[in-house]
């Protein structure tokens, strides 16, 4: 699983015996009614659709899915395969051939999707979304990279700006549909961890919500999710 893009959200369980997972997937696909599904994240939005297995080629499985799933899979170059007949989710590397509209799967492994990834809907933030961030009496600007109802990922110009603080105030402004003006909130957030300490550093924070911040962030996530899915379908 050296090439696994989401290795921090997936735990490798077992690669199985050579050909074991491949044979099991093929056997499931040959049943009259099967529930094989592809599962991917596109800009942090979960996308899941039925998997159509076409044929076995060497140690690979050649498949198709609908256009939305195919675009998500093409972007990530891997997929998670799910079925009620599988004891665990299966990770596979994926290559898409535009000429044949076929997806070739290889390098199969049993994996567990960790709870943080499984239970929290998050969206990737496009463009430059600047967030004034308060650390004590100091205010500086960070960049919002992704957002969930529980927290966010921020890119901070320099880790030293955070000082020794654990709690910060974030000043967020959302352009919501059917709202004539940007909706602004000031929400407290607790530093959970650093994903990178280089310049700029990337950190994960958890929100300490009030009712208004939870409502506005939830509405913005729903709006952003709709935009991302529309982008996949266009």
Query: What pLDDT is stored for residue 212 in this prediction?
Result: 92
Task: Please provide residue 53's backbone torsions phi and psi, each rounded to the nearest 5 degrees.
Answer: -85, 125
Radius of gyration of the CA atoms of the chain, in A:
21
**Hey, is 17 helix, strand or coil?**
coil
Q: Are 54 and 102 in contact (CB under 8 A)?
A: yes
Q: Per-residue pLDDT for the chain (234 aa), expressed as one digit of tens each?
A: 444 444 446 777 777 776 889 999 999 999 888 999 999 888 878 889 999 999 999 999 999 999 999 999 998 899 999 999 998 999 999 999 999 999 999 999 998 876 554 446 778 887 789 999 999 999 999 999 989 888 999 999 999 999 999 999 999 999 888 878 889 999 999 999 998 888 899 999 999 999 999 999 988 988 888 888 888 877
Contacts of 94 (CB under 8 A, 6+ apart): 73, 74, 76, 77, 78, 79, 103, 104, 105
Residue 111 burial by Cβ neighbours in a 10 Å radius (0-12, 13-18, 19+): buried
- CA–CA distance, 5 with 93 (Å, rounded to integer): 10
Query: What pLDDT is stored for residue 69 in this prediction?
Result: 93
- pTM for the structure as a whole: 0.64
Q: Are 85 and 28 in contact (CB under 8 A)?
A: yes
Domains of the chain: 10-119 (2.30.110), 122-233 (2.40.10.220)
**Hey, is 67 helix, strand or coil?**
helix
């Amino acid at each position: 699983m050296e090439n696994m893009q989401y290795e921090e959200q997936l735990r490798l369980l077992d690669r199985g015996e050579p050909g074991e997972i491949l044979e099991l997937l093929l056997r499931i696909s040959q049943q009259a009614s099967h529930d094989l599904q592809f599962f991917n994240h596109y800009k942090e939005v979960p996308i899941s659709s039925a998997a159509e297995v076409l044929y076995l080629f060497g140690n690979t499985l050649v498949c198709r899915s609908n256009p939305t799933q195919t675009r998500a899979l093409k972007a990530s170059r891997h997929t998670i395969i799910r079925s009620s007949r599988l004891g665990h989710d299966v990770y596979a590397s994926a290559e898409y051939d535009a000429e044949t509209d076929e997806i070739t799967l290889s390098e199969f492994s049993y994996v567990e999707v960790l709870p943080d990834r499984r239970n929290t809907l998050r969206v990737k933030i496009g463009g430059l979304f600047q967030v004034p961030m308060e650390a004590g009496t100091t205010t500086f600007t960070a960049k919002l990279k992704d957002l969930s109802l529980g927290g966010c990922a921020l890119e901070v110009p320099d880790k030293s700006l955070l000082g020794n603080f654990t709690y910060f105030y974030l000043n967020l402004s959302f352009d919501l549909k059917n709202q004539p003006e940007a909706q602004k909130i000031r929400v407290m957030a607790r530093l959970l961890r650093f994903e990178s300490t280089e310049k700029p550093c990337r950190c994960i924070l958890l929100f300490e919500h009030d009712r208004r911040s939870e409502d506005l962030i939830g509405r913005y996530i729903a709006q952003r999710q709709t935009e991302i899915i529309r982008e996949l379908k266009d």
